[in-house]
Structure 1
Amino acid sequence: MPETVVVIGGGPAGMAATLAARRRGARVVLIEAGDDVGGQYWRHLPDSRATADEHTLHHGWEKFRTMRSAVRDDPGVELILNGHVWSVDRRDGQPPLVHVMIGAADGQRRVARTFVPSALVIATGAHERTLPFPGWDLPGVFTAGAAQALAKGERVTVGKNVLVAGAGPFLLPVVSSLVRVGARVAGVVEAAGWAQISQGWGTRGWRLAQANAKAAELVGYVADLAKHRIPYRVASAVIAAHGTDRVEEVTVARLNPDWSPIPGTETRIVTDALCVSHGFVPRTELAISAGCALAGDMVETDRNQQTSVPGVFSAGELTGIGGVDLALAEGEIAGAAAAGRQPPPAAVRRRAVFREFAGRLEAAHGIRPGWQAWVDDTTVVCRCEDVTAGELRDTARMTGSRGLRSLKLTTRAGLGICQGRTCGRSAEEILEQAVPGPDGLLDAGRTANRPLAVPLRLGELAITGEDAG
């Protein structure tokens, strides 16, 4: 049995992995970058400002409270909050070393520690993907996740008259969070059309029967739309935002099935805040550094959630965007396996049910290639380095290169403070369309290859590795 299981990420998958490993006798170190466990899904007010109505902004709130208490109160769990894993070092035939900087990201005198795990569970979740459009860099344009985080974590609304746009069911809980903190939601603009949505969710619908909790959630979200008279538009997208000092209006257009705008269908909507999300991208930088094999954007795992690296497991959104229920099931399986035991049969069954849901999600709301038609050459794609779509296209065509490294070095796209998390996938797709080839990009996925996963000061880098354990 492993002596110490290190779990990176304190969201639903990481918490489930921690508790499963503890139930099987392993000592666990749980490393969470935030101020508390729960992840984005269970983001909440700090204990010092807790309110009695917290449960109204969350699904499964009592389950979270039970899990959090179990993690906090267990002497066999070392819970590290504000722990930023900046690197993992590979070891032949063994799980990698885990290097952590502990303390607020902008704080002084942070503490460096290095852990030598007997098994490692990576449950770092995902970050939002937002497709670029003219004006998306105006103040007042937010990711939908940021708007929800402010609503859940601070009870703050991003605006008084908010439009929510993008693709996927995540837009609906964002709407519910906004109306609960006092925002007026002007509408929901969903890029997928009914044909795409029906194909994803309607085909062999009986196979989703066991995911009845998801249906109950959907009913609640639809009830919020009806109660607040919020219009819901499909096959449509925000193709431009307008304003002087901040967003004041947006242009919405109808879309073809490939998501290219239909000329002549444009309308303007007045808004003081726009929340946009086109799905999620797994946070794979640590998994890549550990040497884990990927399947597209996702980490490959076996039936025990083990990756291609012995002793390294992965769970949650890293293995496919499937929501909290799938994350909990995968976390439980990964934690048990990391502790050297067989996965619980009930968790295996739940995983099968909600992986079906995850596959349907991509089919129903996955991004289609026509979105680039609304991105003119003046549209900023890399906001950190102020690189436009025209610069990316011109550079790709002039060099004829299908390599991301060449594009990044020439334009600096993806080399700013976010290290390509915001623009990386869009830059990849713009390059692929500008210089098409039979085998795709020469180095697809390179925007997620980050030897240093989080920013470090040079002084901190100089002292790292002195404390192992």
Structure 2
Amino acid sequence: MSVETPEVLVVGAGPAGLAAADAARRAGAQVVLLDAAGDAGGQYWRHLPAERPAARERILHHGWGKFTALRGQDVLTDAQVWLAERHDDRPPTLHVLVGPADGRDRVRKTFAPKALVLATGAYERTLPFPGWDLPGVFTAGAAQALAKSERIAVGRRVLVAGAGPFLLPVASSLVRTGAGVVGVLEANGWPRLARGWSRRPAELLATRHKGGELAGYVRDLVRHRIPYRAATAVVAAHGTDRVEAVTVARLDPRWAPIAGTDEQIEVDAVCVSHGFVPRVELAVSAGCGLDAYGAVVTDDDGRTTVAGVFAAGEITGVGGADLALAEGVVAGLAAAGSAASAAQRRARSDNQAFAARLEAAHGIRPGWTGWLGDDTLVCRCEEVTAGDLRAGAAATESRGLRSLKLSTRAGLGVCQGRVCGRTVEELLHRHTGGLLDRGRTESRPLAAFVRLGELAATEQVAEEKEPL
């Protein structure tokens, strides 16, 4: 098995990765761009497959012209990086399996780049509530993905709830598939939203084009008579074989449910999102340092704490596609040994300021635990409840995340904590009075799912290569 040695290797072909690869190529570097999906674009530019194109796909996406320009570069798709092999004096060697994720004949590839750019994006976060494991309860991102890439409506009476401006494009995507959206619920109240978005208004001039996007979403809500309610959340879902109704409640500024405000709404689907969590398994595997929020630490050129490794996009802090594009340009140029211009750096800083507004206006508040009961599932894979976490912390008197995960089984299921990890950590942090090793959920020897047979085949190849 040969080892490829590109000058710049970029992992992730969403907005950040595409921009980084394009910038590095324009700077004269030889670039390889990988993505685990079957096509480029990431979650932001998720689209119908080539064999089933939309007649006017441009109208379904923002920045479609930018995507089509970046999409022209070569991308090695269906390429899953499963291991980063660290070195003391150079970027890690990446071990990759190429082929459909459900295929049995994936091809092994190994890359030892001179510079590595990580642009692996983020996971959507959904806070648990009673009944969130019922069929018909979707993450907002999953519902949008089905709408964009399959034109599937997740239901006829759909409620969209959570926090953040992402709820608006999700509602717009749903109505375009024929779904009936009965409402959009934002957990934050109008005072916090106003404070977050109105401070230093002059900063908004640099990102004023986003106002046009917002106006389009508002038009969709008005046209389809979709109510938008602030300081309100789904606190329970009900049904037998699937969701049939939800209970919503007014929230106080800390997101604690206000007694006596419960209301039941009949639905056949609910789409929930409370923001995003940086997808940093590969970065952690490579040895990159993280900040207190679990994002990869970078300098002004996108350099991480590991020599020769750069990062861009949502793994450095969630801020949207425009910030991802701007960070990708800066990191891609630096990885190629070039430097970003003042205008390119200004584009990044302008969008970083916009990202700070998002957090100030829509970030998660601590009172959400008030809608959890002891029997509310937190880790769905291992069926661990909120009460199990509380009891485990009390019984063991441990403050170590690893020991608490082993004793409660939380985060040890099929998804390996990708869905519940941040929530498990937050709850255990409260129950223990302070975990000693927060942030360990993303620390995994293998950065992706690999079959035992594939691992065995890899080991066999290594043994065959050893000299006698």
For this structure pair, what is the TM-score category when the shorter chain's length is used for normalisation? over 0.9
Equivalent residues of 1:238, 1:250 under 8 A apart = yes
Does the residue aligned with 1:294 lie in a helix, a strand or coil? coil
Task: Give structure 2 stretches of 5+ with no counterpart.
Answer: none
Following the alignment from structure 2 to structure 1, what is the Cα–Cα distance between the partners of residues 185 and 339? 44
Q: Indicate the residue corresponding to 2:299 in structure 1.
A: 302
Which one-letter code corresponds to 2:92 in the other structure?
A: P
Decide which moves more: 261-270 or 213-222. Answer: 213-222
Q: Which residue of 2 aligns with 1:103?
A: 99
Q: Does 1:456 align with 2:450?
A: yes
Q: 3-state DSSP class of the match of 1:47?
A: coil
1:399 is matched with 396
Cα drift, residue 429 of structure 1: 1.1
Residue equivalent to 2:313: 316
Q: Following the alignment from structure 1 to structure 2, what is the Cα–Cα distance between the partners of residues 23 and 463?
A: 38
Find out whether 1:209 has 2:211 as its counterpart. no
Match of 2:374, SS state, is coil
In structure 1, the gaps of 5 or more residues are: 73-78
State yes or no: 1:31 paired with 2:25.
Answer: no
What's the CA shift string for 1:403-453, capped at 9, x where partnerless? 2111110011101111001111111111112122xxx32110111111111
* C-alpha distance in 2 between matches for 1:458 and 1:398: 35
Q: Is structure 2 residue 222 aligned with structure 1 residue 226?
A: yes
Q: Which residue in 2 is equivalent to 1:117?
A: 113
* Equivalent pair of 1:112/1:463 in contact (CA under 8 Å): no
Please say if 1:380 is aligned against 2:377.
yes
Aligned partner of 2:436 in structure 1 is 442
Query: What is the DSSP-based 3-state SS (H/G/I as helix, E as strand, rest coil) of the residue aligned with 1:199?
Result: helix
> Of the candidates 57, 62, 68, which is equivalent to residue 60 of structure 2?
57
Choose from 288, 295, 299 the match for 1:292. Answer: 288
Give every structure 1 segment of 4 or more consecutive aligned residues whose post-TM-superposition deviation is greater than 4 Å.
465-468
User: How far off its partner does 1:285 sit?
Assistant: 0.7
Give 3-state SS (helix, strand or coil) of 1:253's partner: strand
Deviation at 1:56, TM superposition (A): 2.1
CA deviation string 1:171-218 (max 9, x = no partner): 001011011111110000110111221221111122111101211111
Matches within 5 A, 1:79-90: 79-90=75-86
**1:181 aligned partner:** 177
d(CA) in 2 for partners of 1:333, 1:209: 22
Range with greater deviation from structure 2 (162-171 or 399-408): 399-408
Shift of 1:3: 5.1
Name whichever of 395-404 and 186-195 sits farther off.
395-404
| CA apart distance, 1:278 | 0.2
**1:48 alignment counterpart:** 51
Residues 222-371 of structure 1: matches in 2 within 5 Å?
222-296=218-292, 297-371=294-368
Task: Show CA shifts across 1:366-417 (max 9, x none).
Answer: 1111100101000010000111110001111222222211111001110111
Report the residue type matching 1:304 in the other structure: D
The answer to whether the 8 Å contact 2:372/2:386 transfers is: yes
Q: Any conservation in 2 of the 1:57–1:180 contact (CA below 8 Å)?
A: no
Residues of 2 paired with 1:193 and 1:119: CA distance?
45
Query: Which residue matches 1:76?
Result: none
Structure-2 residue corresponding to 1:420: 417
Alignment size in residue pairs: 457
8 Å CA contact retained: 2:6, 2:111: no
Rounded Cα–Cα distance in structure 2 between residues aligned with 1:332 and 1:17: 5
- CA distance in 1: counterparts of 2:252 and 2:435, whole angstroms: 26
In 1: Cα distance, 2:301 partner to 2:432 partner: 40
1:330-387, CA deviations, whole angstroms, 9 ceiling, x for partnerless residues? 0011111000011232221100100001111111111111100101000010000111
Aligned to 1:75: none
Distance in 1, Cα, partners of 2:209 & 2:308: 33
Q: Determine if contact 1:113/1:464 at 8 Å carries over to the other structure.
A: no
Are 1:429 and 2:454 counterparts? no
Q: What is the alpha-carbon distance in structure 2 between the residues aligned to residue 257 and residue 284 of structure 1?
A: 30
The CA deviation string for residues 268-291 of structure 1, in whole angstroms up to 9 with x for no partner, is: 011000000000000011111111
Distance in 2 (alpha carbons) for counterparts of 1:24 and 1:255 = 51
Q: Which amino acid aligns with 1:13?
A: A
- Give me the TM-score of the superposition, normalised by structure 1: 0.96
Cα contact 1:259–1:369 (8 A) shared by 2: yes
SS in structure 2 at match of 1:395: helix
**Amino acid across the alignment from 2:387:** G
Deviates more, 1:47-56 or 1:18-27: 47-56
What is the alpha-carbon distance in structure 2 between the residues aligned to residue 30 and residue 10 of structure 1? 7
How many angstroms apart in 2 are the aligned matches of 1:188 and 1:451?
Answer: 40
TM-score (norm 2): 0.96
Does 1:132 pair with 2:135? no
Q: Which amino acid aligns with 1:183?
A: A
Cα deviation per residue 1:117-137 (whole Å; 9 max; x = unaligned)?
000000000010000000000
Larger deviation, residues 456-465 vs 158-167: 456-465
